Amino acid sequence: MQRLLPTMHQSKVKLIVTGDDFGYCPRRNRGIVECYLAGAVSNVSLLVNGYAASDAALLARRHNIPIGLHANLSEGSPVCEALRKSFSLLNEDGFFHGKMGIRKALADGLLEMSEVKEELCAQVDLFRQLTGHLPDHMDGHQHIHVLPDIRHVFASVLEKYGIRYTRVPVEQGLHGCGWIPASLMEFYLGVENDSLNSAEVFRSHGIRWPDIYIGLSTMGRNMSVSHIQRAIDSSIAALSTTGKAGIGDTEASRNSFPSHNQKDKAITIELMVHPGYPSVPPDGGCGDGPDDFSQSWERQHELQILMDPQLQSYYKKNGVQLCAFKDL
Catalytic residues: 20
DSSP-assigned letter for residue 261: G
Helices first, then strands: H and E counts in the chain: 11, 7
Distance CA 22, CA 19 (A): 7
Q: Which residues contact 309 (CB under 8 A, 6 or more apart)?
A: none
Judge whether 154 and 205 are in contact, CB under 8 Å: no
Judge whether 145 and 139 are in contact, CB under 8 Å: yes
Judge whether 222 and 243 are in contact, CB under 8 Å: no
Distance CA 167, CA 300 (A): 24
Mapping DSSP to helix (H, G, I), strand (E, B) and coil, where does residue 57 land?
helix
The percent helix, strand, coil of the chain (3-state, each to 5) is 45, 10, 40
Distance CA 69, CA 113 (A): 20
Taking the mean position of all CA atoms in its chain, how far away is CA 262?
Answer: 25
The angle at the Cα of 194, spanning 22 to 267, to the nearest 5 degrees, equals 65
Amino acid at 112: E
Question: How long, in residues, is the chain?
Answer: 328
Burial class (CB in 10 A: 0-12, 13-18, 19+), 176: exposed
Distance CA 234, CA 86 (A): 47
Taking the mean position of all CA atoms in its chain, how far away is CA 70?
Answer: 7
List 270's β-bridge partners, or say none: 16, 213
